[in-house]
Structure 1
Amino acid sequence: MRPAPPYASYDAPATAEVARRAGIAPSEVIRFDGNTSPSAPSFARAEALSEALAEIHTYPHGGYPGLAEAIAEYAGVAPESVVLGAGADDVILLVTRAFAGPGDRIAIANDPTYALFHIAVGLAGAEVGDDDPVLTICCRPNNPTGELGELPSARPLLVDEAYFEYSGVSAVDLIEDGVIVVRTFSKAFGLAAARVGYALAGRDVAAELNRRQAPAPVSTLSVALVLAGLDSPPDVGPVIDERERLAEELRMIGLRPLPSDANFLAVPLEDGADVAERLLLRGLPVRPYRDGIRITVRNRGDDNVLLDAFRTLSTRQGSGRD
């Protein structure tokens, strides 16, 4: 067995563990570390699953043509350009393995950025590097900074658009020019536990990726939920409004959150790990980074609880931008 890549991702503590350490009930924990919706979407009801449950004993023979067509309509592409996976992470791993192998280099455009990119490179047996890469990866908007940033000119280019719905900016028009767009239903659609992601690519590239994907990689129950969600796409306006309110409140406290085009805010802090630990002990986990923390935008009530906690903490600010 080959050794695992050394680049570790965030080991998110279980809600029950956070509650134990904070001395509260699990229901009192408010998670600010996952960039997910604060509540289940209205369409996630038993009625949406009834037909899928009646067929739960069978495999999805023939794949998921209905889902591919619905995604294609939502994204403005042909169904043949859609590649499905068990979450965006699964699709990113699929793409990196398709393009790279031992001895190859993959360029990663942002730093810091989504930790899975480094893990995917290692699992493909490749190395991270800018010298003649076989693939370039870009997160847009970037996680954890929230920046939209410029689109790299390199090709082939994988663009992680997990937070596309919040920015409204996409590279999907470039899929016939060597760009592969990866998205998820975990964020704006509120279906993180359903584990459904997809790629949008040129037809030839998509066909090759689909040939390399495992058969029936997505649960039919998850497919039913996604189809219900695509019938009524999310309104992210309230999240964007709350993001700006939260950013202003943080600035009034004396912190300097970075501008964001996503559903989270990055806050530079010299003592980010310490602040994250102290917030966790209050039942308010945030995502720690080497130069600060990342905060999921939830709703006014939850965010006010976090703001009250910040007002009682003494923090050292990092090099944020005004």
Structure 2
Amino acid sequence: MIRPVPHVGAMAAYALADLGGEGTISLAQNESAFAASPAAIAAGRSAMADLPLYPDPEWPELRTAIADVHGLDPARVLCGAGSMELIGCLIRAYAGPGDRVLGTDYGYAFVSSAAAQVQADYVKAREIDLTVSVDDILAAIRPKTRIVFVCNPGNPTGTLIPNAEILRLRDGLPGDVLLVVDQAYAEFSDYANDPAEIFALAVRGDTVVMRTFSKAYGLAGARAGWGYFPPEIANEVRKLLNPNNISIASQTAAAAAMRDQDHMKDVVFRTAGIRGRFAEDCRALGLTVPESHTNFVLLRFASAEDAHRADAALRAENLLMRGMGGYRLADCLRATICETPVMDRCLAILKGVLK
């Protein structure tokens, strides 16, 4: 029998969302409720004529668009096949057997899988009221801690800490610990937190900031993410990236989407409106719903049994939310915000269950 190396054989596969059967409407993937920018769709279609060619490994058009919109140095921007690729490469570059990668109670679960791939120990600092606690992260630092990952806004909680807390965290970390700020949902919270303050940390040489086109830009299928890196860290990560990692069509579509900020902001505005109404209606049913700064809400039921009954009732109507048992939140379901008619259907079912 051909066997894998022991640590890979002992790993569990990364758990993707259950997508249900044919005809199911998924509220489990945190995809956009609305289509991508028409300019992005048109640009992607036009780029299909170049498919006989390999994509440019320097992502020049995409890097320039990101830098122009955010006021950044394009040389510090790295692009990945979703931010997942960048996270995986960062961990492979800066952690190894016996090192510690520190996340938080409800941080992005893929970080744990990426740490296991290099035989590093993934450790979680406590969150308080489903919210990142800088004091608890700092208390969890040990001599073998190499990387700290913070999701802000958080997933699956949707909660947000102010930039001042991120800055306090960075100032409290040892200089040889890399801070990674995962901002996959930041477009939904940029109104509250000035993004320039966090991007400026990358200039210090000890912090990486991640973003993606999968959420507010409606390009999950394009697999395009990006990060702002100190040059020395970017050089090491580049060694591990697939040199042709983002297709020509995806690069072109993402660049056009980035330049169409009006469309992105309209998507964020419409999503937030539906999210706010749905969250308030759920609270009126007796559910606990933390204030969300993302394109989803976390619904906390009185018990795990209630959450399971709600999940079953939704599935019976071909509606699928994300169970949170893997995060030790068995009394919760996470609901991606969809268009209003879908959310109204979900609410009607929840009302029936909670009677």
Q: TM-score range by the shorter chain?
A: 0.7 to 0.9
How many Å separate the matches in 2 of 1:194 and 1:201?
22
- CA distance 1:89–1:57, change in 2 (3 Å): same
Residue by residue over 1:278-303, the C-alpha shift from the partner in whole angstroms, topping out at 9 and shown as x without a partner, is 31222111011132111111222221
Residues 80, 206 of structure 1: 8 Å contact kept = no
Aligned with residue 116 of structure 1, among 104, 107, 110: 110
Matched, 1:229 2:257: yes
Aligned with residue 198 of structure 1, among 226, 244, 250: 226
Matched, 1:283 2:318: yes
Q: Number of aligned residue pairs: give it.
A: 304
- CA distance 1:167–1:175, change in 2 (3 Å): same
- The Cα shift of 1:106 comes to 0.8
Residue by residue over 1:136-193, the C-alpha shift from the partner in whole angstroms, topping out at 9 and shown as x without a partner, is 1111101011111242333410111000000113421211231101111000000011
Aligned to 1:11: 16
- CA distance 1:50–1:247, change in 2 (3 Å): closer
How many Å separate the matches in 2 of 1:4 and 1:257?
39
- CA distance 1:7–1:74, change in 2 (3 Å): farther
Matched, 1:105 2:100: yes
Matched, 1:33 2:60: no
- Equivalent pairs: percent with the same residue? 30
Residues 40, 252 of structure 2: 8 Å contact kept = no
Residue by residue over 1:12-37, the C-alpha shift from the partner in whole angstroms, topping out at 9 and shown as x without a partner, is 2335x2x4xxxxxx2xx322111111
Aligned to 1:320: none
- The Cα shift of 1:62 comes to 5.4
Letter in 2 for 1:95: L
Residues 30, 296 of structure 2: 8 Å contact kept = yes
Residues 162, 184 of structure 1: 8 Å contact kept = yes
Question: SS state of the match for residue 286, structure 1?
Answer: strand
TM-score, normalised to structure 1's length? 0.88
How many Å separate the matches in 2 of 1:118 and 1:5?
14
How many Å separate the matches in 1 of 2:33 and 2:189?
19
Residues 137, 157 of structure 1: 8 Å contact kept = yes
How many Å separate the matches in 2 of 1:50 and 1:267?
38
Aligned to 2:148: 136
Residue by residue over 1:95-127, the C-alpha shift from the partner in whole angstroms, topping out at 9 and shown as x without a partner, is 11111011211111x212221111111112211
How many Å separate the matches in 2 of 1:280 and 1:195?
28
- The Cα shift of 1:75 comes to 2.7
Aligned to 2:283: 251
- CA distance 1:93–1:45, change in 2 (3 Å): closer
Aligned with residue 90 of structure 1, among 85, 93, 96: 85
- CA distance 1:300–1:230, change in 2 (3 Å): same
Residues 83, 224 of structure 2: 8 Å contact kept = yes
How many Å separate the matches in 2 of 1:190 and 1:46?
10
Aligned to 2:341: 301
**Unaligned 5+ residue runs, structure 2?**
124-139
Letter in 1 for 2:348: D
Matched, 1:127 2:127: no
More helix by share: 2
Question: SS state of the match for residue 314, structure 2?
Answer: helix
Letter in 2 for 1:14: L
Residue by residue over 1:254-273, the C-alpha shift from the partner in whole angstroms, topping out at 9 and shown as x without a partner, is 21111111111111222234
Aligned to 2:126: none
How many Å separate the matches in 1 of 2:179 and 2:91?
11
How many Å separate the matches in 2 of 1:145 and 1:286?
14
Letter in 2 for 1:293: L
Question: SS state of the match for residue 249, structure 1?
Answer: helix
Residues 86, 218 of structure 1: 8 Å contact kept = yes
Matched, 1:164 2:186: yes
Letter in 2 for 1:275: A
- CA distance 1:252–1:50, change in 2 (3 Å): closer
How many Å separate the matches in 2 of 1:61 and 1:249?
48
